[in-house]
Chain A
Amino acid sequence: MAEKVLMKGNEAIAEAAIKAGCRHYFGYPITPQTEIAAYMAKRMPKIGGTFLQAESEIAAINMVYGVASAGFRVMTSSSSPGVSLKQEGISYIAGSDLPALIVNVQRGGPGLGGIQPSQSDYFQATKGGGHGDYHLIVLAPASVQEMADLTVKAFDLADKYRCPAMLLADGTMGQMMEPVVLPEVDTAPVEKPWAVTGTKNARPHNIINSLYLKPDQLEKTNFERYEKYRQIEENEVMYESFMMEDAEYCVVAFGITARISKNAVIAARKKGIKVGMIRPITLWPFPTDAIAKAAEQVKGFLSVELSMGQMIEDVRLASGCRRPVLLCNRTGGMIVSPEEVLAKIDELVAL
């Protein structure tokens, strides 16, 4: 087995991206994700890759658009306010059906907000973010190991479906160090016959474009894209089920709050409360079926989030509002404690 090393979550993303064959990184510094850019700045020149600190987040995402058009694995990373700036470019990339990785190591908002961890970009990540009919594949790591593994997964899914993917982490996941075994990746390049690489007069032009002035054509591309999304929803949902076999209550949490909630679930079990947890790993596609199935089994749900309550809407939808759904939350950079989650579990039981 490969060696376990201690790495920050941000560094694990960067190294995993390189292992996944990413040789182009464009970004602009912002806390708490700057280690990704710093790592790329050090490593990329040594392996023949490109690191470029752009003049702005907007420039960086459009450089990603360009490299993705040429068929190379490419990424950018930022934190919440910076990811807002990228939204126009992300919409163009989605509208042009291009694979790319966007990393958001979230901090408190809205506005410039603060620099402490947050999950309040859930809506932005899973419901669009930019304009138009599109989705991103959104992956939510809950350990440094997953920061690495899901980075590789995100590149693979993006290529498979010609669709931009987002890794949605937070300041804690980015800054913490844990042992990680860096993934060994089969780097065989994915065939991309659609890429704009020059025709050499041997084939017709490939066109990368998101502008369709004829509405029937634009409608057609949107319908086709949503057929692709349907396949992603069918095939790519990932979640972790924890102590759900006999659960009478279900906590739903992702990323850092899932780890905190796990402590609370274990503590509640010690008190004799039959509670389990569903941890969405893909936030889009959301594990709707798993929540729906749990709704048949449990008496209530608890959504734990570092926001004013965003994922809770998906939990309500997926459960068909058949069971009460409570919210346990902190926001603005504050972090929920296991004790607060446990108190909410007690509240749920007392309903």
Chain B
Amino acid sequence: MLTQILIAGFGGQGVLFAGKFLAYKGLFENKEVSWLPSYGPEMRGGTANCSVILSDDPVGSPIVSAPDVLIAMNLPSLDKYEDACVPGAKLFIDETLIARKIARTDVDAYYIPATKMAKDAGIPTLANMIMVGKMIRETGTVSFEGMEDALKKVVSAKHADLLEVNLKAIRAGYDYEG
């Protein structure tokens, strides 16, 4: 199995964080993993994305140019990467921020009001992890079990209180029917 994941959105939405979490989750499941961020003059409000590859075999190119899974957290990201996805890809779209539906018919789209759900749940910065929860549910790329171990690697010890809310966000996404 080789899953090429692209997570894209605005800087500040936790795109890189979500990718790191998935990479660690894969590592704990004894997969080969790579994580590659876009880097550059991005800042809060600019665009950001990261490539995450989870594989049973050693990872060749770490650059995801044809995603199996796309998590789009804003409209420019969907505009940019929709056509790049492989046929049969699964697209996860934050419908609070992206008003349009996808144009392609050969991929599966999941529309999640993640930003609104996060706001309503009092965890406004965690739309990213709601998207991740839904993605895990629909792809099975990583297991839902053992989230905490991977989270502990990406949430610094100083902010241990954030573990609980991250778990809550992942579960909210996982349980979201829509």
CB of A248 within 8 A of chain B? no
A176 to chain B: closest residue by CB: B36
Q: How far is the CA of A177 from the CA of B59 in the complex (A)?
A: 12
Q: With A6-B20, A260-B61 in contact, is A176–B34 under 8 Å at CB?
A: yes
B31 to chain A: closest residue by CB: A179
B52 to chain A: closest residue by CB: A177
Secondary structure class of chain A's binding surface, majority of residues? mixed
Q: How far is the CA of A315 from the CA of B65 in the complex (A)?
A: 29
> Min CB distance, B16 to chain A, in Å?
10
CB of B12 within 8 A of chain A? no
Which of B20, B32, B62 is the one whose CB lies under 8 Å from A172? B62
Residues 11-28 of chain B, each 1 if its beta carbon lies under 8 Å from chain A, else 0: 000000000100110010
Chain A residues 137 to 181 lying within 8 A of chain B, measured CB to CB, are: 171-172, 175-179
* Chain A-chain B contacts (Cβ-Cβ < 8 Å), number: 59
Q: Is the CB of A178 within 8 A of B59?
A: yes
Q: Is the CB of B62 within 8 A of A6?
A: no
Q: Is the CB of B34 within 8 A of A178?
A: yes
> Min CB distance, B6 to chain A, in Å?
14
Q: How far is the CA of A176 from the CA of B59 in the complex (A)?
A: 12
Q: Is the CB of A262 within 8 A of B35?
A: no
Q: With A6-B153, A338-B61 in contact, is A177–B23 under 8 Å at CB?
A: yes
CB of A335 within 8 A of chain B? yes
Cβ contacts under 8 Å, A195 to chain B: none
Cβ contacts under 8 Å, A6 to chain B: 20, 23-24, 27, 33, 35, 153
Cβ contacts under 8 Å, A266 to chain B: 60
Q: How far is the CA of A20 from the CA of B99 in the complex (A)?
A: 54
Q: Is the CB of B63 within 8 A of A172?
A: yes
Cβ contacts under 8 Å, A178 to chain B: 33-35, 59, 62
Secondary structure class of chain B's binding surface, majority of residues? mixed
> Min CB distance, B150 to chain A, in Å?
10
Cβ contacts under 8 Å, B40 to chain A: 31, 115-116
CB of A263 within 8 A of chain B? yes
Cβ contacts under 8 Å, A179 to chain B: 27, 32-33
B153 to chain A: closest residue by CB: A6
CB of A130 within 8 A of chain B? no
> Min CB distance, B114 to chain A, in Å?
24
A333 to chain B: closest residue by CB: B40
Q: Is the CB of A260 within 8 A of B60?
A: yes
> Min CB distance, B12 to chain A, in Å?
19
Cβ contacts under 8 Å, A262 to chain B: 60-61
Q: Is the CB of B37 within 8 A of A263?
A: no
A: which residues have CB within 8 A of B? 4, 6, 31-32, 115-116, 171-172, 175-179, 256, 259-260, 262-263, 266, 335, 337-338
**Shortest beta-carbon contacts, A-B, top 10:** A263-B60, A177-B35, A260-B61, A176-B36, A262-B60, A263-B61, A176-B62, A178-B34, A175-B39, A259-B60
Given contacts A177-B20, A178-B59, A335-B63, 18 further A-B contacts (CB under 8 A): A4-B27, A6-B23, A6-B35, A31-B40, A115-B39, A172-B63, A175-B36, A176-B36, A176-B37, A176-B62, A177-B23, A178-B33, A178-B34, A179-B33, A259-B62, A260-B60, A260-B61, A338-B61
